[in-house]
Structure 1
Amino acid sequence: MSESDERMPEFDDLRDEPFDPEVLSSEVAFEGVVWNVRDDRVRYGDGEIRRQYVAHTGAVAILALDDDGRVLLIQQYRHPIRHRDWELPAGLLDVAGEEPVMAAQRELAEEADLVATHWEPLVSSWTTPGGNDEEIHIFLATGISAADSAHAREDEEADIRVEWVPLDAAVRAVLEGRMRNGILSIGVLAAAQRLRDRG
């Protein structure tokens, strides 16, 4: 075992820390079709700061892994980056009262016409904490099979490309900079580590 592989017990409890400064005002600066932009004034230290950010519903993503160790990737057009990037199936937490795992199951069926028999939390992440409050929950789904029916898709989702890719090939594509979607990157790297941990 290399030195870099050894556990460092003094860092086993390393974690983000909640912090709740006084919010002096919070207004909707822009009301969008999907998300709003908020404009907050916050008391911070001896002064005051002003921050604008996207108020996000939160989201889920699915790392679907088949019995051959392949991960399900989808490719679709994303207008802000002018790319058809490779992604994990994902969607918004926009149904009132829906648990994240239920949203993940719904999204896998809607985006890929698939269901899974086993679901487990893989990793959660704040996607861009300097610009939005989105938290995404990524689930590992196994025991994959076709859904009973196919979903109708429109707009960018109408021409989604679906591929089953060996997990190690997806990891290489991420590390070599050929696939740059952040959620995909986190998901495939976390899944590879989870499988290594299980031996």
Structure 2
Amino acid sequence: MTVLESKTIFTGRIIKLSQEKVCLPDNTVDDLEIIYHPGGAAIVAVNYNHEVCLLRQYRHAMRDWVWEIPAGILEPNDGSPMERAQQELREESGCTAKRWVELGEMQTSPGIFTEKVHLFLATELSYGKQNLEQGEVIEVHWLDFRKALLQAQNGEINDAKTCIALFRSTKFID
């Protein structure tokens, strides 16, 4: 694919919206809207009781409370996605982990977003204190891992990164 023209429509704190004229692999030309996003890191944290850390977080864009795993945006100068995951787990849940497993990446909406979320499993947890950023309204809950999977299957948990990360982590959880 070749970008023939690109025009930035909006640049915000996190995203950039562009209109692009592109030549697609079949040589057709199309006008697209692309939202550039730096990506993120998300963590399935499972304790010794096989409970997963789920955050009940108010998301204004959804005008509702959402069940999610700890996650955060990849910031410039943050280091690797793994380092960002470790930082987010500590900030949002107060936990640190001795064991980390990479679960791969997921694309949130590849038709319009460049965002890729790096998924991780964290186990052998130690507990500390939350250190939330301004504007974060988060409740930490611990739910049996199998129950969380069922809630992802039946739609009670419907955040995409959370569902995908839970399902990918099943091969590592007894």
The partner residue of 2:140 within 139, 147, 162 is 162
The partner residue of 2:158 within 176, 180, 183 is 180
| Post-superposition offset of 1:73 | 0.3
Matched with 2:75 is 94
The yes-or-no answer on 1:46 pairing with 2:24 is no
The yes-or-no answer on 1:81 pairing with 2:62 is yes
Root-mean-square deviation over aligned CA pairs:
1.5
| Post-superposition offset of 1:127 | 0.8
| Post-superposition offset of 1:47 | 2.5
Matched with 2:110 is 129
| Post-superposition offset of 1:176 | 1.0
5 Å matches for 1:13-52?
21-44=1-24, 45-52=26-33
SS across alignment from 1:107: helix
User: Which amino acid is 1:161 matched to?
Assistant: E
Contact 2:92 2:130 survives alignment (8 Å): no
- The alpha-carbon distance between structure 1 residues 153 and 131, as it changes in their structure 2 partners (threshold 3 A), is same
Structure 2 alignment gaps of length 5 or more = none
Structure 1 alignment gaps of length 5 or more = 1-20
Q: How many residue pairs were aligned?
A: 173
Matched with 2:51 is 70
Give a deviation string over 1:107-163, Cα, whole Å, max 9, x none: 11111111111111013101110120100011110111124x6425422x1x31111
SS across alignment from 2:79: coil
Q: What is the CA–CA distance in structure 2 between the aligned matches of 1:81 and 1:152, rounded to whole Å?
A: 20
| Bigger Cα displacement from structure 2, 25-34 vs 47-56 | 25-34
% identical aligned pairs: 29
Q: What is the CA–CA distance in structure 2 between the aligned matches of 1:39 and 1:60, rounded to whole Å?
A: 27
Q: What is the CA–CA distance in structure 2 between the aligned matches of 1:150 and 1:79, rounded to whole Å?
A: 21
Structure number with greater Rg is 1
Higher helix share: 1
- The alpha-carbon distance between structure 1 residues 58 and 160, as it changes in their structure 2 partners (threshold 3 A), is same
Higher relative contact order (CA 8 A, sep 6+): 2
| Bigger Cα displacement from structure 2, 99-108 vs 22-31 | 22-31
